[in-house]
């Protein structure tokens, strides 16, 4: 018997953007450790990015990944396919074959497409396969080799990325979308999903696009988006305090950008909040701000962090029903016939973040030592109890 008195019972969380690292980089994370972290944080469904070794770019590799998931996952894991073979941005993958093998979306995450013709082709293929295309918006000519945002230039001694690298890419993707959608010869209306949106300028570019009336038969049109807990809560000032534990790509932005992302996410429109959980080994992150790889972990801290910024009701909507609806996953609801993916939250619990106790192999968290309010105390996946009171079952 589980006593839920004074607790919140709600659909399990859905994360559209997780790096599980397996196969190929099991020293960073595995399907088992990543999904243990997921159920600890209340996630019952996660979408796995294709940045593995080998890359998830061929149907047989999707099949291998699904076998691994069946053997070791503690929650539902849905594969995302790579946009190009071996992430080389030279030859496109077979989007339809990847869908048939089990992928729920295609992405260029971490290997962003740069040219209009590439974007047009990617969106055409995604539309033909009826798959969302997840775009990593970064023009390399502007971001160059920067490790922090321009707003951190006076705070740390490190190469900077131009903030507009994101918005410039967003505009290019939107222009590509217009070209595809307005061409009757292509006969497709693709779904473009923007990953980890972090700047006011990018949000303004998207808002103008929507106001011009370009939409398709989706709940909120051609364009959907996600942001991440760290872009709601941390500005680039955090890099000077946390170093490589606050190094991610896109980098943390200015306080004005944080406010814009927080306001639009919490008050204005419909979007998803996804963790972009990207674990690395402690040794890699210990290399310092310049040499450490991009990426922090977030599955075990996401809900209380997002709740603190936009409130519990908004956080649950943007981390459960909305992401499920964006990708058509059929999750995020409590009703007869729906999957019994349920979490129980103690909204009064206060706990201190101790990365050494994470289920994830990753330890890089800018919330290390911080006190957070609210904690998931039980996670059911398909009616089966996977976590109770901090113990994985």
List the catalytic residues. Answer: 276
Residue 110 phi, psi dihedral angles, 5° rounding: 75, -10
Q: Residues 305, 229: contact at Cβ < 8 Å?
A: yes
The C-alpha angle 335, 339, 345, rounded to 5 degrees, equals 75
Q: How far apart are CA 384 and CA 393, in angstroms?
A: 9
Of the candidates 155, 223, 160, 229, which has an alpha carbon nearest to the alpha carbon of residue 198?
229
Tell me how far the alpha carbon of residue 253 is from its chain's centroid. 17
CA dihedral 21, 25, 27, 29 (to 10 degrees): 10
Q: Residues 87, 110: contact at Cβ < 8 Å?
A: yes
Q: How far apart are CA 167 and CA 148, in angstroms?
A: 16
C-alpha dist (Å) from residue 195 to 185, 285, 386: 28, 23, 29
Kind and range of the H or E element at 122? Answer: helix 116-129
Looking up tokens 């990847």 gives 98
Do β-strands 342-352 and 8-11 pair in parallel, antiparallel, or remain unpaired?
Answer: antiparallel
Tell me how far the alpha carbon of residue 4 is from its chain's centroid. 30
Of the candidates 273, 140, 126, which has an alpha carbon nearest to the alpha carbon of residue 191?
126
Q: How far apart are CA 1 and CA 205, in angstroms?
A: 50
Both tokens assigned to 21 = 């690292």
Q: How far apart are CA 387 and CA 10, in angstroms?
A: 15
Strands (E), the chain: 8-11, 13-18, 43-48, 76-79, 81-82, 106-107, 133-135, 148-149, 160-161, 192-194, 223-227, 272-273, 342-352, 371-381, 384-388, 391-392
């Amino acid at each position: 018997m589980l006593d839920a008195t004074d607790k919140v019972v709600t659909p399990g969380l859905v994360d559209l953007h997780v790096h599980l690292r397996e196969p190929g980089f099991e020293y960073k994370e595995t399907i088992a450790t990543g999904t243990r972290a997921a159920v600890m944080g209340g996630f019952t469904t996660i979408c796995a990015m294709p940045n593995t070794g080998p890359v998830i770019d061929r149907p047989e590799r999707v099949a291998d990944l699904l076998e691994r998931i069946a053997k070791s996952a503690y929650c539902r894991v849905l594969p995302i396919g790579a946009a190009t073979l071996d992430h080389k941005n030279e030859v496109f993958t077979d989007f339809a074959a990847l869908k048939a093998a089990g992928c729920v979306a295609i992405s260029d995450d971490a290997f962003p497409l740069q040219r209009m013709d590439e974007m047009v082709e990617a969106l055409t293929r995604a539309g033909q396969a009826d798959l969302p295309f997840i775009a990593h918006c970064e023009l390399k000519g502007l971001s160059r080799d920067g490790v922090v945002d321009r707003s951190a230039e006076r705070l740390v001694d490190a190469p900077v990325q131009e903030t507009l690298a994101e918005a410039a890419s967003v505009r290019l993707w939107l222009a590509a979308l217009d070209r595809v959608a307005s061409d009757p010869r292509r006969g497709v209306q693709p779904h473009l999903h923007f990953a980890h949106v972090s700047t006011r300028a990018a949000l303004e570019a998207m808002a103008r696009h929507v106001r011009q009336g370009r939409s398709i038969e989706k709940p909120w049109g051609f364009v959907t988006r996600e942001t991440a807990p760290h872009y709601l809560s941390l500005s680039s000032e955090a890099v000077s305090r946390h170093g490589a534990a606050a190094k991610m790509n896109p980098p943390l932005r200015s306080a004005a950008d944080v406010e814009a992302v927080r306001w639009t996410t919490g008050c204005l429109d419909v979007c998803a909040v996804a963790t972009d959980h990207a674990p690395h080994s402690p040794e890699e992150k210990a290399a310092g701000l310049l040499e450490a790889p991009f990426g922090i972990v977030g599955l075990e801290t996401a809900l209380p962090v997002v709740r603190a910024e936009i409130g519990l009701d908004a956080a649950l909507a943007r981390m459960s029903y909305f992401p499920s609806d964006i990708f058509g996953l059929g999750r995020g609801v409590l009703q007869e016939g729906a999957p019994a993916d349920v979490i129980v939250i103690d909204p009064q619990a206060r706990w201190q973040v101790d990365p050494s106790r994470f289920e994830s192999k990753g330890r890089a968290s800018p919330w290390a030592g911080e006190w957070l309010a609210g904690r998931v105390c039980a996670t059911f996946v398909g009616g089966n109890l996977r976590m109770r009171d901090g113990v994985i079952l």
